[in-house]
Structure 1
Amino acid sequence: MPKDGYDLVVVANRLPVDISKDDDGEISWKRSPGGLVTALEPVMQKADGAWVGWSGGPGLEVDPFDADEMRLVPVTLSAEEIEKYYEGFSNDTLWPLYHDVIAPPAYHRQWWDAYRRVNQRFADAAAAQAAEGAIVWVHDYQLQLVPKMLRDQRPDLRIGFFDHIPFPPLELFQQLPWRRSVIDGLLGADLVGFQRAGDASNFIRAVRRLTDHTTRGPIITMPDPNGKPGRHVRAAAFPISIDSAHFDELARTPDVQARSQQIRDDLGNPEVIMLGVDRLDYTKGIRHRIKAYGEILADGRLDVEHATLIQVASPSRENVGAYQELREHVEGLAGRINGEYGEIGHSAIHYMHHSYPPEEMAALYLAADVMLVTSLRDGMNLVAKEYVAARSDDRGVLVLSEFTGAADELSSGALLVNPHDIDGMKDAIVAAAQMDRREQRRRMRKLRRRVLNDDVSKWSDSFLGVLTAMPSRTDHV
Structure 2
Amino acid sequence: MDPARTSNGTNRPGRIIVVSNRIPKGDVPAGGLVFAIHEALSGGGGLWIGAADPTEQALDGLTPIGSGIYDRATFAITEEEHHGFYLGYANSVLWPLFHHRPDLLDIQDGDFEAYAAVNRRVARAIAHIAEPDDVIWIQDYHFLMVAQELRYLGVKNPTGLFLHIPFPNPTDVMALPQVAALSSWIAAHDVFGLQTMRDVASADETLRHDPKAEQLPNGCWRRENRTFRLLSFPIGIDAKGFSDTAESAPTPELQLAPKAPLLIGVDRLDYSKGLVHRFEAFGDYLSRRKSGSVRPTFLQIAPVSREDVTAYQDIREELECASGSINGAHSDLDWTPIRYVRRSFERNVIAGLYRRADAALVTPLADGMNLVAKEFVAAQDPEDPGVLILSHFAGAAEQMSAAILVNPFDRHRFADSIERAIEMPLDERRDRHAVLRKTVFEQDIAWWTNSFLTCLRGVPRGYSDPD
Q: Do both share a fold (TM > 0.5)?
A: yes
Partner of 2:242: 247
Partner of 1:55: 52
Q: Report the AA paired with residue 219 of structure 1.
A: C
Over 3 Å counting, the alpha-carbon distance change for 1:42 and 1:31 in structure 2 is: closer
Deviation at 1:305, TM superposition (A): 5.5
Deviation at 1:68, TM superposition (A): 3.1
Deviation at 1:40, TM superposition (A): 3.9
Tell me how far apart the structure 2 counterparts of residues 308 and 46 of structure 1 sit (CA, whole Å).
Answer: 40
Tell me how far apart the structure 2 counterparts of residues 45 and 187 of structure 1 sit (CA, whole Å).
Answer: 29
Contact between 1:245 and 1:389, CA under 8 Å: does it hold in 2? Answer: yes
Write the deviation string for residues 126-168 of structure 1: whole angstroms up to 9, x where unpaired: 1122102421011100100011111221342110111000001
Instruction: List aligned pairs for 1:127-146, cutoff 5 A.
Output: 127-146=127-146
Deviation at 1:41, TM superposition (A): 3.9
Deviation at 1:466, TM superposition (A): 0.8
Over 3 Å counting, the alpha-carbon distance change for 1:32 and 1:277 in structure 2 is: closer
Q: What SS class does the counterpart of residue 432 from structure 1 fall into?
A: helix
1:360 equivalent among 324, 339, 349: 349
Instruction: List aligned pairs for 1:8-19, cutoff 5 A.
Output: 8-15=16-23, 17-18=24-25
Tell me how far apart the structure 2 counterparts of residues 128 and 134 of structure 1 sit (CA, whole Å).
Answer: 12
Over 3 Å counting, the alpha-carbon distance change for 1:287 and 1:111 in structure 2 is: same
Partner of 1:235: 230
Deviation at 1:432, TM superposition (A): 0.7
Over 3 Å counting, the alpha-carbon distance change for 1:322 and 1:273 in structure 2 is: same
Partner of 2:97: 97
1:435 equivalent among 393, 417, 424: 424
Partner of 2:82: 82
1:335 equivalent among 298, 316, 324: 324
Q: Report the AA paired with residue 107 of structure 1.
A: I
Instruction: List aligned pairs for 1:18-37, cutoff 5 A.
Output: 18=25, 29-37=26-34
Tell me how far apart the structure 2 counterparts of residues 188 and 102 of structure 1 sit (CA, whole Å).
Answer: 25
Partner of 2:214: 214
Instruction: List aligned pairs for 1:243-322, cutoff 5 A.
Output: 243-253=238-248, 256=249, 258-260=250-252, 262-263=253-254, 266-301=255-290, 306-322=295-311
Over 3 Å counting, the alpha-carbon distance change for 1:282 and 1:81 in structure 2 is: same
Deviation at 1:184, TM superposition (A): 1.1
Partner of 1:24: none
Deviation at 1:279, TM superposition (A): 0.7
Deviation at 1:303, TM superposition (A): 7.0
Q: Report the AA paired with residue 293 of structure 1.
A: F
Tell me how far apart the structure 2 counterparts of residues 418 and 397 of structure 1 sit (CA, whole Å).
Answer: 16
Tell me how far apart the structure 2 counterparts of residues 110 and 56 of structure 1 sit (CA, whole Å).
Answer: 21
Contact between 2:170 and 2:202, CA under 8 Å: does it hold in 1? Answer: yes
Partner of 1:407: 397
Deviation at 1:338, TM superposition (A): 1.1
Tell me how far apart the structure 2 counterparts of residues 64 and 366 of structure 1 sit (CA, whole Å).
Answer: 39
Tell me how far apart the structure 2 counterparts of residues 474 and 112 of structure 1 sit (CA, whole Å).
Answer: 29
Tell me how far apart the structure 2 counterparts of residues 87 and 304 of structure 1 sit (CA, whole Å).
Answer: 47
Tell me how far apart the structure 1 counterparts of residues 151 and 16 of structure 2 sit (CA, whole Å).
Answer: 15
Over 3 Å counting, the alpha-carbon distance change for 1:457 and 1:38 in structure 2 is: farther
Deviation at 1:182, TM superposition (A): 2.7
Tell me how far apart the structure 1 counterparts of residues 396 and 183 of structure 2 sit (CA, whole Å).
Answer: 26
Q: What SS class does the counterpart of residue 247 from structure 1 fall into?
A: helix
Deviation at 1:74, TM superposition (A): 0.8
Tell me how far apart the structure 1 counterparts of residues 380 and 125 of structure 2 sit (CA, whole Å).
Answer: 42
Deviation at 1:302, TM superposition (A): 7.8
Partner of 2:455: 466
Write the deviation string for residues 435-467 of structure 1: whole angstroms up to 9, x where unpaired: 011111111111111101110011010000011
Over 3 Å counting, the alpha-carbon distance change for 1:389 and 1:352 in structure 2 is: same
Cα RMSD for the two superposed structures: 2.2
Q: Report the AA paired with residue 99 of structure 1.
A: H
More displaced 10-residue stretch of structure 1: 205-214 or 101-110: 101-110
Tell me how far apart the structure 1 counterparts of residues 112 and 37 of structure 2 sit (CA, whole Å).
Answer: 30
Partner of 1:378: 367
Over 3 Å counting, the alpha-carbon distance change for 1:130 and 1:42 in structure 2 is: farther
Gaps of 5+ in 1: 19-28, 225-230
Q: What SS class does the counterpart of residue 13 from structure 1 fall into?
A: coil
More displaced 10-residue stretch of structure 1: 36-45 or 113-122: 36-45
Tell me how far apart the structure 1 counterparts of residues 127 and 327 of structure 2 sit (CA, whole Å).
Answer: 55
Over 3 Å counting, the alpha-carbon distance change for 1:324 and 1:301 in structure 2 is: farther
Tell me how far apart the structure 2 counterparts of residues 5 and 388 of structure 1 sit (CA, whole Å).
Answer: 38
Over 3 Å counting, the alpha-carbon distance change for 1:378 and 1:54 in structure 2 is: same
Over 3 Å counting, the alpha-carbon distance change for 1:189 and 1:301 in structure 2 is: farther
Q: What SS class does the counterpart of residue 314 from structure 1 fall into?
A: coil
Aligned length: 451
Partner of 1:106: 106
Partner of 1:66: 66
Contact between 1:58 and 1:82, CA under 8 Å: does it hold in 2? Answer: no
Q: Report the AA paired with residue 316 of structure 1.
A: S
Query: Taking every aligned residue pair, what percent have the same amino acid on both sides?
Result: 33
Q: Report the AA paired with residue 389 of structure 2.
A: V
Tell me how far apart the structure 1 counterparts of residues 419 and 453 of structure 2 sit (CA, whole Å).
Answer: 43
Over 3 Å counting, the alpha-carbon distance change for 1:417 and 1:466 in structure 2 is: same
More displaced 10-residue stretch of structure 1: 123-132 or 449-458: 123-132
Tell me how far apart the structure 2 counterparts of residues 302 and 235 of structure 1 sit (CA, whole Å).
Answer: 54
Deviation at 1:259, TM superposition (A): 2.1
Over 3 Å counting, the alpha-carbon distance change for 1:223 and 1:448 in structure 2 is: same
Tell me how far apart the structure 1 counterparts of residues 121 and 157 of structure 2 sit (CA, whole Å).
Answer: 17
Tell me how far apart the structure 2 counterparts of residues 270 and 392 of structure 1 sit (CA, whole Å).
Answer: 17
Deviation at 1:90, TM superposition (A): 0.6
Tell me how far apart the structure 2 counterparts of residues 322 and 280 of structure 1 sit (CA, whole Å).
Answer: 11
Q: What SS class does the counterpart of residue 267 from structure 2 fall into?
A: strand
Contact between 2:190 and 2:459, CA under 8 Å: does it hold in 1? Answer: yes
Over 3 Å counting, the alpha-carbon distance change for 1:30 and 1:371 in structure 2 is: closer
Tell me how far apart the structure 2 counterparts of residues 201 and 358 of structure 1 sit (CA, whole Å).
Answer: 35
Q: What SS class does the counterpart of residue 85 from structure 2 fall into?
A: helix
Deviation at 1:50, TM superposition (A): 1.4
Write the deviation string for residues 199-246 of structure 1: whole angstroms up to 9, x where unpaired: 11211221121241221263111334xxxxxx4200010000111110
Normalized per residue, the structure richer in strand is 1
